[in-house]
Amino acid sequence: MKILLINNYATPNDGASIMSLMFREDLRGRGHDARLFASSAGSVDSECRADYLCFGTHSRLQMLLQPANPSAFRQLRRALADFQPDVVHVRTFLWQLSPLILPLLRDVPSLYHVVSYKPICPLGTKMLPDGRSCEAPAGAVCFHERCLPARTWLPMMIQQKLWRRWRNVFDLVVATSEAVRQRLRKEGIDVAAVISEAIPTRPIRPPLSSPPTVAYAGRLVREKGVDLLLRAFTIVLRQIPDANLLIAGEGPERERLRGLISELNLASSVRLLGHLSQAEMERHFSTAWAQAVPSRWEEPFGLVAAEAMMRGTAVVGSAVGALTEIIQDDRTGFLVSPGDSAALARPITRLLNDRELAETMGRNGRETALARFDKDTHIQKFITLYEELRQHRPTGRPASVLLRTPGSGENLPGNGVQRPT
């Protein structure tokens, strides 16, 4: 089968791009001709690994490309003519690859695997500047709540309008978590199935040894809550003075966090590791007794939590979004109230004080990760959907009519995916 994957980026610098690249290789490993279409935007330190490229940028010009990227339209049209895929699988596209690409998908079976809130939120977070969850549809509220300044509000509203106009080109919409499905359905987007991300099986970490260490991995942005973790760690150190904190990642908050580390006198206990390759992160994090995921926002999935569980590490995460679906409270880790440093500190302290508990929760987490995030099962679910889409398209009827969406009283036939209730 010929499968064209579409993603904003093709550099291994963020979760969605890493998963897209791995998914392409896994499909190829099963004998399929899988290719990736992406923008040229990405980290200057990483090679773009797309098979087809269009123009993209992280400069101020990106704001204009989000509603209309002519290069994405032209290059995708050429890619479709050259490759003639049997199926198109879109993961992310609204940061660089504008809605202009959607009309090109009318004549090919297409599915959208939604892995972020970008289709229903210009910022992709569904979080207001004051930290509250946003419950309103994108529109005037984005300006009145100061989510978007005046100069960017209009381009983002144009993007939303074009997306809504053309979103029905997708035969099938799949969500990466129940949290995403619920958000999409609130705004009128039918979701036919929930298929979580998959992660590679890796060796379990070695037995825990001193000093007790907690780890964080992710972008250094406000919604990820790294500042909350630093404040929580000051509480941890009062009981466990030799504890260490490892922070892996880059982002616009780096210098502010560096200043906070100095302000809180944490320099001797906290290491900012910067961006790490997967191999480097596994090496550094193999010593962690716990991994913290202190997000303020509703994580669409929570890749780092699943990876920590695969590693055999207990996870302490905020009780928001898909983290509540991944972390089993009091079994594979602990769920805490978001935005509360003291609440975050308590289970971290408990784990760093109790090696046996950390080991037990780590083993439970690995067992869960092996069962729930298996790559072969993940790929087969999508291959089954691809085959069903191809079977229904020749009838001339939209596949989304034949593959019943929620509320129709029918389930998707035989594909083994989690179905909405």
Contacts of 114 (CB under 8 A, 6+ apart): 173, 174, 175, 176, 180, 184, 191, 300
- For the chain, the maximum distance between any two Cα atoms, rounded to a whole number of angstroms, is 68
Nearest to 181 by CA among 252, 104, 113: 113
- Cα–Cα distance measured from residue 202 to residue 222, given in angstroms and rounded to the nearest whole number: 30
Q: Which residue from 48, 40, 90, 43 is spatially nearest to 69, judged by alpha carbons?
A: 40
- What amino acid is encoded at 402 in this protein? L
Q: Tokens standing for 409?
A: 């009283």
C-alpha dihedral sign at 54, 60, 64, 67: positive
pLDDT at position 205 is 96
Give the span between the Cα atoms of 226 and 294, in whole angstroms. Answer: 7
In one-letter notation, the amino acid at residue 384 is T
Give residue for tokens 């590693």. 311
Q: How far apart are CA 250 and CA 14, in angstroms?
A: 10
| Rounded distance between C-alpha atoms, residue 99 and residue 4, angstroms | 17
Domain 213-372 sits in CATH 3.40.50.2000: yes
Report d(CA 339, CA 307) in Å as an integer. 23
The pLDDT of residue 94: 94
Please work out, in degrees rounded to the nearest 5, the angle formed at the alpha carbon of residue 158 by the alpha carbons of 152 and 161. Answer: 140
Per CATH, 2-198+377-402 and 213-372 having the same topology is answered yes
Tokens of 48: 């773009």
Q: What string of DSSP letters covers 256-303?
A: HHHHHHHHTT-TTTEEEEES--HHHHHHHHTT-SEEEE--SS--SS-H
For the chain, the domains span 2-198+377-402, 213-372
Q: For the domain bounded by 2-198+377-402, which CATH number is listed?
A: 3.40.50.2000
> What SS3 class is residue 317?
strand
pLDDT at 43: 57
pLDDT in tens, 43-100: 555 678 999 999 999 888 899 899 999 999 999 999 999 999 999 999 999 999 999 9
CA angle 29, 313, 205 (to 5 degrees): 65
The encoded tokens of residue 55 equal: 């123009």
Question: Low-confidence residues of the chain, pLDDT below 70?
Answer: 43-46, 393-421
* CB 270 within 8 Å of CB 247: yes
